[in-house]
Amino acid sequence: MVVGRPDTDQPVGLTGAVPAGGGPDPAVDGVPARRTRRRWPRPVDALVVAGYLGLAVLLTAGQWGRPDRLFHQAGDQMLFEWMLARAARAVAGGENPLYGTALNAPDGVNLMANTSVLGLGVPLTPVTLLGGSQVTFLVAVVGCLAGTATTWYALLARRLVRSRAAAAVGGLFCGFAPGMVSQAGAHLHMAAQFLVPVILALVFRPDADRVRRDGVLLGLAIAYQVFLGEEVLVFLALAAGVFAGAYALADRSAARRLAPVVARRIGIGALVAGVLLAYPLWFQFRGPGHYTGMPFFARGYRLDVASFTAAARQSVAGDDYHAGLLSPNPTEQNSFFGPFLPLLAVLVVVRLRRRPLVRALAACGLLFALLSLGTTVVVNRHDTGLPGPYRLLAGVPLLDLVVPARFALVCVPVLGVLLALALDRVRLRSARTWVPWVGAVAAALLPLVPTPIRTVPAMPVPAFVTGGDWRAYVPPGRTVVPVLPITGAGVSPATFWSARTGLAFDAPGGYFIGPRTADDPTARWGAPDRPTSLLLRRAAETGQVPPVGEAERRQAVEDLRHWRAAVLVQAASSPGDPVRATIDALVGPGRDVAGAHVWDVHRLVS
């Protein structure tokens, strides 16, 4: 945002000059006209950040010290635990962080083309090596929520408002809005938004000096954001462009004055980021294991208009049933702002409409709210058939891969900044004016108070795996095959077991996005299914042992050779299990071990 400093005599929220044709003045906005010195940081800043950290820890309380629990989207947490463990292994072992073979053996996974969150996994390597993947995942969730709130608080306090209390409320909402909490329970790459205010502050810095330094820092921040989450960077670029255009229309003189400086910063930043990202992006789009498209119908993930005034299930006023009716899934409850906050935002915009910053924020928030509705508008679960603005972007490369429901996440900082501006405006007013505004903000935010992220039971990893007993069965170059050898499902024992053991063994299959075949880069979940994995899946789904003849046995040996299998491991196995009986028919009887049943096949496939 192009904003003035609160420690000068310029009006808050301006580029440093009052726009032609009039604009807010210090008297109107309640901003002192005299220059004041502000110390940064202050003791109160430490208290605010500590409060953010405490809230983030509280929201993750259901998993600390509980390896038997996972957050509600269990498959996604398994994936990110594996990614964090893989980053630690790459650092500790000097391996390529963009590619890994611990899953989908023997072909491997293009990690750059998946949500590898290297920007979290690499610096958290010591945590992973000492505490394991679950602890690292929880630390990352806490860091993403509290870190996003903190950086927004810093930007608000340094650039946009004078009141630390107003900045604290704005940062609190930016970091802990319902959409942020719902994403944090599963999608680290969407929750890691702590660099967003940093990038905005560098792009829209109102001073014209230190352009080269700011441009270099901008390039570094953009490059780092790519390794946190590319989707957030796409939303940020779009939102910044819309905001800049709307601000330019509201304050043409400031836009003409600052456009060359901003353009030079962006140019330098793009050059620096381009140099740093050239190889990683080539690897992502052209390297081994790259894919095209998405393995799911992204356009189907859209928001209901009614969801914007509803309460998310991870808030004190929400519940599973009603929130579930209005959202694609529990993780994509990005628009649940409650019944009062949207109304309050409208009142703030009307009251502060003379300020270019407010008009630009309103335009940006409204546009991205409309984009989140998808190609056709749904109102209270009824598809009206009316075309949504996203239809205009549906064919644009890269944007056609974006989940429309996530456009609403741009509304979160828009609302957070508006809240901070509103509270800052009334801080010097009389109690007669101050009390109603503060009461309105409290009434809008109280229904949105987040509740601890919900957890579900996790299937225990067999002691045979965690204790390392598998090593006696697996010679170098061979793999452990978790049963079922699922390649495309979210709940993949291969992914979970590998993550919780620090990638101690290689395994086929897993939960990731890869190409359909070696010759067809069309995206799909996991590796192509082998005939044996399909046979075992049929046994699991039907509860019946399928016919097994000599042809199936020969195919099983071929598939095991492809996987370079040494041992098959089934957790929580029982003699009457149809999957266990099917494997017995394919490779012969196995044996019971600690917490599992195993089939030693390394001689069979030699």
> For residue 119, is pLDDT > 80?
yes
Between residues 432 and 395, the one the model is more confident about: 395
Checking if the pLDDT of 27 tops 60, the result is no
CA dist 255 and 526 (Å) reads 48
Residues 498 and 566 in one domain: yes
Average pLDDT of the chain, as a whole number:
90
Is the same domain home to 231 and 343? yes
Span 513-563, pLDDT tens digits: 999 988 899 999 888 889 999 999 999 999 999 999 999 999 999 999 999
- Encode pLDDT of 133-164 as tens digits: 999 999 999 999 999 999 999 999 999 999 99
Within-domain flag for 172: yes
> Quick one: 401 and 501 in the same domain?
no
Instruction: State how many domains the chain has.
Output: 2
Domain-embedded: residue 553: yes
Residue 12: per-residue pLDDT: 38
**Which are the contacts of 467, defined by CB distance < 8 A and separation ≥ 6?**
594
Structural contact between residues 180 and 55, judged by C-beta atoms closer than 8 angstroms: no
Q: Does one domain contain both 154 and 270?
A: yes
CA-to-CA distance for 456 and 373, rounded, in angstroms?
A: 30
Listed residues 448, 468, 499: the one ending a domain: 448
Say which DSSP state 504 is in: -
- Give the type of residue at 48: V
CA neighbor of 108 nearest in space, from 135, 90, 132, 124: 90
Q: Which residues are registered as beta bridge partners of 570?
A: 483, 597
Say whether 234 sits in a helix, a strand or coil.
Answer: helix
Residue 20 lies in a domain: no
Contact assessment for residue 497 and residue 465, using Cβ atoms and an 8 Å cutoff: yes
Within-domain flag for 419:
yes
Contact call for residues 369 and 308 (beta carbons, < 8 A): yes
Which of 249-263, 326-340, 355-369, 430-444 has the lowest average pLDDT? Answer: 430-444
Q: Does one domain contain both 516 and 549? A: yes
Do 529 and 400 belong together in one domain? no
Q: Last residue of some domain: 396, 415, 448? A: 448
Query: Helix, strand or coil for residue 337?
Result: coil
Whether the Cβ atoms of residue 413 and residue 428 lie closer than 8 Å to each other:
no
Q: Tell me which residue of 178, 176, 177 sits closest to 142, measured CA to CA.
A: 176
Please tell me the distance from the alpha carbon of residue 225 to that of residue 442, in angstroms, as a whole number. 33
SS3 call for 321: helix
Q: Which helix (H) or strand (E) holds 383?
A: strand 382-387
Q: Same structural domain for residues 553 and 432? A: no
Within this chain, do residues 408 and 546 fall inside the same structural domain, yes or no?
no
Q: What percent of the chain has pLDDT over 90?
A: 77
Q: Give residue 31's pLDDT band: very low, low, confident or very high (50, 70, 90).
A: very low
Q: Kindly state whether residues 418 and 496 are assigned to the same domain.
A: no
> Of 425, 448, 471, which residue constitutes the final position of a domain?
448
Write out pLDDT tens, residues 282-299. 999 999 999 998 877 777
DSSP assignment, residue 307? G
Over residues 415-439, the mean pLDDT reads 83
The verdict on residue 76 lying in a domain is no
| 370 lies in the same domain as 497 | no
Query: Can you give the pLDDT at residue 354?
Result: 94
The one-letter amino acid code at 6 reads P
Note the maximum CA span of the chain.
90
More confident residue, 417 or 9: 417
Nearest in space to 148 (alpha carbons), one of 190, 103, 194, 199: 194
pLDDT tens digits for range 293-320: 887 777 778 999 999 999 999 999 998 8
Judge whether 186 and 237 are in contact, CB under 8 Å. Answer: no
**DSSP code for 96:** -
Distance, in Å, from the CA atom of 62 to the CA atom of 552, rounded to the nearest integer, reads: 45
Same domain, 514 and 552: yes
Give the pairing of strands 591-593 and 596-600. antiparallel
pLDDT of residue 3: 42
Query: Which of 163-167, 243-247, 527-531 shows the lowest per-residue confidence on average (mean pLDDT)?
Result: 527-531
For the segment 183-190, the average pLDDT, to the nearest whole number, is 95
Q: Which domain holds residue 531?
A: 459-600
Model pLDDT, residue 456: 93
Q: Is the pLDDT of residue 34 over 50?
A: no
- Nearest one of 198, 184, 192, 203 to 147, comparing CA atoms: 192
Residue 488 resides in a domain: yes
The predicted pLDDT at position 38 comes to 57
* Local structure of 496: helix, strand or coil: helix
Pair 370, 474 in one domain: no
96 lies in some domain: no
Q: What percent of the chain has pLDDT over 70?
A: 91
Q: Cα-flanking dihedrals φ and ψ of residue 368, to 5°?
A: -75, -30
Within a domain: residue 523?
yes
- Residue 435: which pLDDT band, with cuts at 50, 70 and 90? confident
Q: For 144-218, list the strands marked E by DSSP.
A: none
**How far is the C-alpha of 476 from the C-alpha of 485, rounded, in Å?**
20
